[in-house]
A and B are shown apart, each in its own frame.
Chain A
Amino acid sequence: MHADHLITQAREGDRVAQGKLMQVWYKRIYNFSYKFFYDHDLAMEAAQKTFISMHRNIGYLQDAGRFRSWLYTIAVNCCREELRKIKNDKSISMHALKHGKEEKSQTWEAAKERNENPEQVLRQVELTDLLQGCLMQLSEEQREVVIMKEYEGLKFREIAEALNISENTVKSRMYYGLEALKRMLERRNINKETFDYE
């Protein structure tokens, strides 16, 4: 079924169409949230809240062409809400969001079950943890923009719509986010030689 047609039907209250939209977009929204939190439970929570909100409010969506940015607006708001809850909850330390040991990381746990080559898996786990750690060191605003642009493939215009800011602000955040990531990789001695060798 054509995406615009699906969105139109969902706007008209078709629950089947809404369910299909969720099936199509769930992975994207989950991965956006996961990269934002680097935590499976929080990502699941934010993704589910995003689709509940989508179901409630899709009737108010005026332009089907803006569905993607609209959905990411909801996702960003849900992620921010979850982050606020974590910060307000004194019993959970912010250390819970930072994963130090690769063997305990969720990537490692998932890979173990697939019986892949342990060396390759370990290298991938290390790299994933390192890159995710770099992402987590960015400010929230930069992290949102970098994930949306680099991993979700949104246009700068769509990101500006989703975050309700100007396109120049999005590009500026991306610029400083990229500079920060570049410096972090340099500090971790990841350059062309070491990266291509692996």
Chain B
Amino acid sequence: MIMNNKPDESKLVAYCYGELDARETEMVEQYLANHPDERKRMEEWAFTLRVMNSLTDKEVIPPPIFLGDEVQQRSFWKERYFRMTMGIAASFLFLLVAARILGLSVTYSQGAMVIGFGNRQRQPVISPAQLTEERVNQLITSSIENNNGKIKASLNESRESLEQSIQKNLNTNSAKIDRYIQNTSGVSQEQVRKFVAQLQNDNLTLMKDYMQRSSTGQKEYIETLMVDFSKYLEEQRRQDLQLFQVRMTNIEENTDQFKQETSQLLTALINPGNQGNTTRRN
């Protein structure tokens, strides 16, 4: 059976150095048995390695390297832990100095933490212990009174403003109505009559003009219609004549054909022998 599972380059190299387990080694060997070119390559590798193994080691004498004293000679301040600790301390000190210069303050009160820079203005805070029920009632009452006063003042101001606006609008509209009435009352009866007469004359002129234009249009339309009708009749007559001529020609042709066929029949009846001789000859 030919094995198709080609081992990859890693497996081939591991096989070459005998670092595959038994099962994988067997699989690779089966593959190589069925693939002579790959086996040849393995042999070439083995030869390459044999040649490369000719490169021998050089003999060398280890030089004297003095080890060990370095640990004891290391200064205390060169120790890693000391340097790290000092680094943290220096950073902390730097932060403290910077906070002092910038006036950093961090306070925590009443569930809130406040971080600020510079001098802080303290607001007077009344402690809950100084507030009595009577004092609280007074504060509430005074606050309500204050609020009511402000609302009243606001309402009065709005009302006055509204009244002023209404009064102003009334005055303006009254002035307009008075002006219209004055204009209307100034027109006399004579002027009205003249205006109506002028209106009637204009209407009459318009009607005349309309009737004249309408009758002219109708006349032109009827003339056009008559001309078109006469053209239509002429065309119809011409077509009828052509049809008649064609039919007459057909009748004439049919008559000629009939005559010819009749004469052929008569000829055949008169001379039947000639036709029989002719048929036999054929």
A13 to B49, CA, bound (A): 40
Contact between chains at B19 and A156 (CB < 8 Å): yes
Contact between chains at A182 and B58 (CB < 8 Å): no
A 129-160 binary contact with B (CB < 8 Å = 1; else 0): 00110110000000000100111000110000
Contact between chains at A178 and B62 (CB < 8 Å): no
A132 to B56, CA, bound (A): 10
- Quote the shortest CB–CB distance from B105 to chain A (angstroms): 46
Contact between chains at B62 and A52 (CB < 8 Å): no
Total interface residues on A, CB under 8 Å, equals: 45
Residue in chain B with minimal CB distance to A54: B67
The range of chain B's interface size is 20 to 34
Contact between chains at A178 and B65 (CB < 8 Å): no
A191 to B56, CA, bound (A): 19
Kindly list chain A residues whose C-beta atoms are within 8 Å of the C-beta of B44. Answer: 182
**Other-chain contact of A182, B12, B17, B48, B65 (Cβ < 8 Å):** B48
A174 to B19, CA, bound (A): 13
Nearest 6 pairs of A and B residues by beta carbon: A171-B10, A26-B62, A15-B68, A175-B9, A171-B13, A55-B67
**Other-chain contact of B13, A110, A134, A151, A175 (Cβ < 8 Å):** A175
Kindly list chain B residues whose C-beta atoms are within 8 Å of the C-beta of A132. Answer: 55
Most buried by B among A15, A52, A156, A171: A171
Contact between chains at B54 and A127 (CB < 8 Å): yes
Could you name 6 residue pairs across A and B whose Cβ atoms are closer than 8 Å?
A15-B67, A27-B59, A27-B62, A34-B58, A51-B67, A172-B9
Contact between chains at A150 and B52 (CB < 8 Å): yes
A13 to B45, CA, bound (A): 45
Is B57 engaged at the interface, CB distance under 8 Å to the other chain? yes
- Chain A binding surface SS class: helix
What residues make up the interface of A, taking CB atoms closer than 8 Å to B?
13, 15, 18-19, 22-23, 26-27, 30-31, 34-35, 40, 44, 48, 51-52, 55, 110, 127-128, 131-132, 134-135, 146, 149-151, 155-156, 167-168, 171-172, 174-175, 178, 181-182, 185, 190-192, 195
Kindly list chain B residues whose C-beta atoms are within 8 Å of the C-beta of A27. Answer: 57, 59-60, 62
A-B contact count (CB 8 A): 92
Contact between chains at B53 and A48 (CB < 8 Å): no
B 1-31 binary contact with A (CB < 8 Å = 1; else 0): 0000000011011101101000000000000
Is B106 engaged at the interface, CB distance under 8 Å to the other chain? no
A132 to B14, CA, bound (A): 24
Kindly list chain A residues whose C-beta atoms are within 8 Å of the C-beta of B17. Answer: 149, 156
Contact between chains at A131 and B14 (CB < 8 Å): no
**Other-chain contact of B19, A146, A151, A155, A175 (Cβ < 8 Å):** A155
A103 to B9, CA, bound (A): 39
Most buried by A among B44, B47, B58: B58
- Quote the shortest CB–CB distance from B193 to chain A (angstroms): 120
**Given A22-B67, A110-B58, 17 other A-B contacts at CB below 8 A?**
A18-B67, A19-B67, A22-B65, A30-B60, A52-B67, A55-B65, A127-B54, A128-B56, A131-B52, A131-B54, A149-B17, A156-B17, A172-B9, A178-B13, A181-B52, A182-B45, A182-B48
